[in-house]
Amino acid sequence: MSTEKTSEPFWWGLFSAGGVVAAFLVPIHIILVGFAVPLGWITDSGALYGAWWVKLYLFVLIVLPLYHWAHRFYFTLNDIGLKPISKLLAVLCYGGAIVGTIVTAWVLLQV
Amino acid sequence: MSVTRPEPSKLYHRKMPATWWLTKPSYFLFMLRELSSVFIAIFLIVYLCQIYQLTQGLDAYIAFARKLSSPGWVFFHLVALLFALYHSVTWFQSSAVVLQLRIGERLIPRPFVMALHVGAWAVVSLSVLILFLALKG
């Protein structure tokens, strides 16, 4: 047995928080953004995106599930035989989530 | 934070074919659950693209929403919704196992913890809907 420092608890924490956000919040947003607005059930003038607390909410809604995705997708790719390149996969998955975080923050600050 | 784990070199890894998850229905469902995160992430990126349109003006934002009414996008959102619902249900199920809620000494039964999650889910979803309708302008 060896004792090594690992960043896994940190990523697992983000994975877990993202799982909670995705489970409770994503379905209703898919219904609103994917069906209700495009199909004209309700109209949307985009006015709601101006409020700072809405932006903060959207930041949490979009960013945390990205870390959830990174964690699950990383392990899924390892599980289907890509373990030999797991270092690269870690960079792509977790790096992708970090890039997503920065882009999301940038977009929400622009709006 | 340090974690004790065996040396990787001392572990025996049995070779698994890349299609192991097609060999049992439960493995396949596991893979679907893992895949749900991909569809949820794609949906959120598309949503972010729509929000970004607001920086290009209201017309661009409305045009983007109109584009999402095409059959292809409606189909995508239908698939994404089914995956998202599958994630929600499986997440609540595993939370009901992990969360050992107690009243005094007595452990709250799992089906009840599951029901609490579903109830909270309904309240949260309804709140988001009401807030969206109130703020959309």
Question: What is the number of domains present in chain A?
Answer: 1
pLDDT tens digits, one per residue of B57-70: 999 999 999 999 99
**pLDDT score recorded for residue A9:** 86
CATH label of the domain that carries residue A101:
1.20.1300.10
CATH label of the domain that carries residue B78:
1.20.1300.10
**pLDDT score recorded for residue B137:** 73
pLDDT tens digits, one per residue of A36-79: 999 999 999 888 998 999 999 999 999 999 999 999 999 999 98
Domain that holds residue B78: 25-100+107-135
Question: What is the number of domains present in chain B?
Answer: 1
pLDDT tens digits, one per residue of B14-55: 777 888 999 999 999 999 999 999 999 999 999 999 999 999
Least CB–CB distance from A111: residue in B2, B55, B137:
B55
What chain A residue is nearest to B16 in terms of C-alpha separation? Answer: A81
With contact defined as beta carbons under 8 Å apart, do A74 and A93 qualify? yes
Cα separation of B88 and B92, whole Å?
6
Q: Measure the CA angle with vertex A104, ends A11 and B69; round to 5°.
A: 115
Least CB–CB distance from B38: residue in A37, A73, A75:
A73
Alpha carbon of B61 to those of A48, A49, A72, B50, B52: distances in Å? 13, 12, 32, 6, 8
Contacts of B12 (CB under 8 A, 6+ apart): none
Residue of B32, B51, B67 best to disrupt the A interface, most CBs of A under 10 A: B51
B44 to chain A, minimum CA–CA distance in Å? 6
Segment (H or E) for A5 = strand A2-5
**pLDDT score recorded for residue A99:** 98
**pLDDT score recorded for residue B7:** 72
Q: Which amino acid is at B88?
A: S
